[in-house]
């Protein structure tokens, strides 16, 4: 576990810093003390939901005047030194080698898709200015979304459409599995029921990725009663949802926990590929609430986990080879992957891999990859050690 405050300077000019300070203002001051603030053009921050977000944004404005800011609350931070259950993680993009624009989409629970697409196109035009020779392969987008608005699918669909081929990765804000309130910040303002989009153009080699560690079984469930708006499933195979799920996996339906859901994920088949649809909680009436939208008639497949350490190692190793060496990874890792790793007593091995490959980011309530909203997945952007393109 992380102790105190640390930082790392990466070859591409990005600085990453992290602290386990328990007070928001103290955390920001500690981070500011270890960073070379003169080089910073934009800050991306991930922080404990225990912090006062108002104090945090005020402290950032004081310590980093004129610097762009985006961030969100988490269910745990990821730093190049290991996991942070409580604390603050900062990714400081340099003024040179990275061009960044960002915007916030509000009221996402009733998102105007055309208005959202127009905002994204405006960001693209801003990034285009003065760069007629731009290489579209040097761009990526990051999304941070309020998970409790239950709107990730709509947001990601609208944004990916307007990005017109620019790859998108991101994560849904968390709050330590309390499900009571997630929060985002953008340019000094605090937001809920919102999504922040960051569009990045860089001179350095990049690859987006996703990694999961499950495979489908023959066990199927048909959703026969559900509320898509609240993501609650009342019946599976015309039986009470929790009971039907618990019987299939051999557990007590009254004592299902996040560990149960992490160990026995569900998946949906789209375009010949399986994508995880994780359960977030057992409800008092025996229904199941999901991290993703679920509609009546959907066919869910019970999945079984593969070795999470080997799957993660294989993905990072492949990225390392493709990039000629990884410099830093901005990663979005589902909180249920952490729960699963803890239950199998391999979380320290995952942390070792993240340290080796310079992974920095946060544990999420959902992950975005291109036009998809996912669960129980590790996704992100890897930046290579190679010379600027």
Tens digit of pLDDT per residue, the chain (389 long)? 456 899 999 999 999 999 999 999 999 999 999 999 999 999 999 999 999 999 999 999 999 999 999 999 999 999 988 788 889 999 999 999 999 999 999 999 999 999 999 999 999 999 988 676 677 789 999 999 999 999 999 999 999 999 999 999 999 999 999 999 999 999 999 999 999 999 999 999 999 999 999 999 999 999 999 999 999 999 999 999 999 999 999 999 999 999 999 999 999 999 888 999 999 999 999 999 999 999 999 999 999 989 999 999 999 999 999 999 999 999 999 999 999 999 999 999 999 999 999 999 999 999 999 999 999 999 999 999 876 65
The answer to whether residues 16 and 38 belong to one domain is yes
234 within some domain: yes
Residue after which a domain boundary falls, among 305, 320, 337: 305
Q: Same domain for 206 and 316?
A: yes
Question: Where among 284, 305, 326 does a domain terminate?
Answer: 305
- pLDDT of res. 305: 85
Assess whether 54 and 153 both reside in one domain.
yes
Same domain, 378 and 243: no
Same domain for 285 and 335, yes or no, is: no
pLDDT value at position 136?
Answer: 74
Specify if 389 maps to a domain: no
Whether 11 and 119 map to the same domain: the answer is yes
Does one domain contain both 13 and 70? yes
Asked if 125 and 173 sit in the same domain, the reply is: yes
26 belongs to a structural domain: yes
244 lies in the same domain as 375: no
**Do residue 334 and residue 312 come from a single domain?**
yes
pLDDT at position 365, please? 96
Last residue of a domain, one of 305, 336, 370: 305
- SS3 for the chain is CCCCEEEEECCCCCEEEEECCCCHHHHHHHHHHHCCHHHEEEEEEEECCCCCHHHHHHHHHHHCCCCEEEEEECCCEEECCEEECCCEEEEEEECCCEEEEEEEEECHHHCCHHHHHHHHHHHHHHHHCCCCCCCHHHEEEEEEECHHHCCHHHHHHHHHHHHCCCCEEEEECCCCCCCCCCCEEECCEEECCEEEEEEEEECCCEEEEEECCEEEEEEEEEEEEEECCCCEEEEECCEEHHHHHHHHHCCCHHHCCHHHHHHCCEEEEECCEEEECCEEEECCCCCEEECCCCCCCCEEEEEEECCHHHHHHHHHHHHHHHHCCEEEEEEEEEHHHHHHHHHCCCHHHHHHHHHHCCEEEEEECCEEECCEEECCCEEEEEEECCCCC
Range of the domain at 375: 5-210+308-384
Shared domain for 249 and 330, answered yes or no, is no
Domain total in the chain: 2
Is the same domain home to 191 and 218? no
Within a domain: residue 156?
yes
């Amino acid at each position: 576990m992380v102790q105190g405050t640390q930082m790392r300077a990466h070859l591409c000019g990005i600085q990453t810093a992290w602290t386990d300070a328990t007070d928001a203002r103290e955390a920001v001051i500690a981070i500011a003390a270890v960073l070379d603030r003169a080089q910073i053009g934009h800050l991306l921050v991930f922080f404990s939901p225990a912090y006062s977000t108002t104090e945090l944004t005020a402290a950032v404005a004081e310590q980093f005047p004129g610097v762009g800011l985006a961030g969100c609350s988490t269910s745990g931070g990821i730093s190049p030194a290991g996991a942070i259950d409580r604390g603050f993680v900062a990714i400081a993009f340099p003024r040179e080698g990275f061009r960044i624009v960002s915007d916030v989409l509000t009221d996402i629970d009733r998102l105007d898709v055309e208005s959202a697409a127009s905002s994204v196109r405006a960001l693209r035009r801003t990034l285009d200015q003065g760069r007629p020779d731009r290489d579209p392969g040097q761009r990526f987008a990051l999304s941070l979304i309020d998970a409790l608005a239950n709107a990730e699918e709509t947001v990601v669909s609208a944004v990916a459409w307007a990005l017109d081929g620019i790859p998108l990765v991101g994560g849904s804000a968390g709050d330590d599995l309390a499900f009571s309130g997630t929060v985002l910040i953008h340019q000094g303002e605090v937001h809920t029921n919102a999504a922040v989009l960051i569009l990045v153009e860089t001179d350095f080699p990049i690859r987006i990725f996703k990694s999961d560690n499950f495979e489908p079984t023959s066990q199927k469930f048909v959703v026969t009663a559900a509320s898509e708006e609240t993501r609650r499933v009342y019946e599976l195979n015309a039986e009470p949802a929790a009971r039907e799920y618990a019987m299939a996996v051999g557990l007590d339906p009254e004592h299902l926990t996040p560990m149960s859901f992490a160990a026995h994920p569900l998946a949906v088949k789209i375009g010949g590929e399986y994508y995880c649809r994780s359960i977030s909680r057992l409800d008092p009436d025996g229904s199941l609430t999901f991290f993703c939208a679920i509609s009546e008639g959907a066919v869910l497949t019970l999945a079984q986990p593969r070795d999470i350490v080997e799957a993660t190692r294989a993905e990072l190793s492949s990225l390392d080879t493709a990039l000629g060496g990884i410099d830093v990874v901005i990663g979005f890792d589902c909180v249920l992957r952490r729960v699963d790793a803890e239950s199998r007593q391999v979380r320290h091995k995952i942390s070792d891999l993240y340290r080796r490959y310079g992974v920095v980011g946060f544990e999420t309530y959902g992950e975005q990859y291109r036009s998809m909203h996912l669960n129980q997945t590790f996704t992100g952007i890897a930046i290579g050690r190679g010379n600027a393109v």
